[in-house]
Structure 1
Amino acid sequence: MLELLTAIVDDHPIVIEGLKTLLANEENLRITEGFCTGADLLAYMSAQPLDLILLDVTLPDISGIELCKKIKEISVSTRILILSNHTERSIIMQSIQNGASGYLLKNSSIDELRHCIAEAVIGNICYSKEVMEIISRPDRNEMQGAPRLTRREKEILGLIAAGKTSQVIGQELFLSPLTVDTHRKNLIQKFGVKNVAELVMAAAQQQLLSGSAKWINQ
């Protein structure tokens, strides 16, 4: 049986090590590397092709959803399985549109992961059971067009709407500008918009900004 050259991409090294351990005895997989950034993965792939990538959505330098596109530009045959805690239907569907072969939540079982790997290898799209339920029954907020935001995302969205830069937001929330930029990209993705101006407008239309959006109409 041919071994699939496999890489794991996640912003938490402990997750990478955990997956390596979990998959160490899989006869059809050979874990070649683990990466915490998209840039490191792409640099590696420029010299070494990969058969399979287990990819998180949240990375410090690029959204995993956007990274799917870049991976496919380098290697169309590489299969990508998203492993994430994000449960938004829009993120799941955008991942598949950008080239992922499947989407699993991080609480999925090893059997679900094995199954999705097997399906991806033969060219099928596969989801974990919980993701299938999300796809078939979008929640009320998503049906109304309002994405589900974390408390941190709401804070950053309000500060973005107030016209503050990533540097200033980072200082106020004790975060690095890079972390703020990652949240900014995730917000743009969740709202399905192209830039910050459209993000603020969409959030204002959905009444998610309260008083922080008053400057838009001034």
Structure 2
Amino acid sequence: MTNKIKVLIVDDHPLILEGLKNLLTNDENINLIHLCKDAIETMEAIKKEVPEVALLDINLPDINGITLCEKIKHEFPSIQVIALTTFSQRSYINKMVEAGASGYLLKNAEKSEIISTIKEVNNGGICIRLRPETKRQYSESPNDINLTPREKEVLQYIAEGLTNNEIAKKLFVSVLTVNSHRKNLLRKFDVKNTALLIKKAASSGMV
């Protein structure tokens, strides 16, 4: 059996912490090592035992979750951070991603969504999960990057981890064509590599 993922949760509401504890404690994938109510307690806990994934509320009593995310990623870059919050506004999602978060969940998420997000970010992925209506509103903003239908297909396959050769076979086009689409995506998103492309696309609700 694979090793359990060490998880830390930060929320200043005791009922939320207790609920998440009950939800995750007995899961075969999760080792819940810290439950914290604020940033100070969080940083002290991390120094005692470093988690692999941290779930942060944005609204905390001392500093907000965005600032805490920046602090965690600066001092412990190996920790993958997930926002677990009631805020679904674009501004909060963008700020958390810019601060270094790899995931974004709303507090009404199902247990299966929480578990799969923890596993995905622990494996180096990016996971933004919103309500369907929220994601639609979020992704249809006029500020979004305009992509052609084929670029959207290529972007989705890139996010799924497919190589240029695999994408070419899926779309029945040449590898050179796929490479051209990939370069156009990097240019349109104004990023230098695939990891940043996926992260920016995820933060825009486009994958």
TM-score under structure 1 normalisation? Answer: 0.61
- Give the match's secondary structure for 2:8: strand
**In the alignment, which residue of structure 2 is the partner of 1:170?**
none
Partner-residue secondary structure (3-state), 2:48 = coil
Match of 2:47 in 1: 46
Q: Quote how far apart the aligned CAs of 1:24 are.
A: 1.8
SS of residue matched to 2:50:
coil
Question: Amino acid of the residue matched to residue 21 of structure 1?
Answer: N
Deviation of 1:134 (Å): 4.5
Structure 1 residue runs without a partner (length 5+): 144-218
User: Aligned pair 1:11/2:1, yes or no?
Assistant: no
Matched, 1:36 2:42: no
2:58 corresponds to 1:57: yes
Distance 2:12 2:110 in 1: 21
Determine the C-alpha separation between the residues in 1 that align with 2:121 and 2:137: 20
1:94 Cα deviation after fit: 0.8
Task: State the alpha-carbon separation in 1 of the partners of residues 107 and 82 from structure 2.
Answer: 12
Q: RMSD over aligned Cα, in angstroms?
A: 1.9
Matched, 1:117 2:118: yes
Deviation at 1:79, TM superposition (A): 1.0
Residue of structure 2 equivalent to 1:188: none
Query: 1:137 aligned to 130, 137, 140, which one?
Result: 140
Residue 9 of structure 1, CA deviation: 0.2
Which residue does the alignment assign to 2:104?
103
The residue type paired with residue 87 of structure 1 is: S
Q: Among all aligned residue pairs of Structure 1 and Structure 2, give the percentage whose two residues are the same amino acid.
A: 35
Cα distance in 1 for partners of 2:111, 2:123 equals: 19
* Structure 2 gap segments, 5+ residues each: 145-207
The answer for the alignment partner of 2:128 in structure 1 is: 127
Give 2:26's aligned amino acid: N
3-state SS of paired residue (1:46): helix
For the structure 1 residues 3 and 96, does the alpha-carbon distance in structure 2 shift closer, same or farther, using more than 3 Å as the test?
A: same
Amino acid at match of 1:133: R
2:84 aligned counterpart, secondary structure = strand
Please say if residues 34 and 45 of structure 2, whose CA atoms lie closer than 8 Å, have aligned partners that are also in contact.
Answer: no
The Cα offsets for residues 12-39 of structure 1, whole Å up to 9 and x where unpaired, read as 0110110010112211211112111011
Deviates more, 1:54-63 or 1:110-119: 110-119
- 1:80 alignment partner AA: V
Q: Distance in 2 between matches of 1:68 and 1:133?
A: 26
Cα-to-partner distance string for 1:31-83 (whole Å, 9 max, x where unaligned): 11211101110112123211111110000000101110100112111111111
Rounded Cα–Cα distance in structure 1 between residues aligned with 2:129 and 2:110: 9
Partner Cα distance (2:35, 2:137) in 1: 29
Distance in 2 between the 1:46 and 1:133 partners? Answer: 40
Tell me if structure 2 keeps the 8 A contact 1:52–1:78.
yes
Q: How many residues align?
A: 141
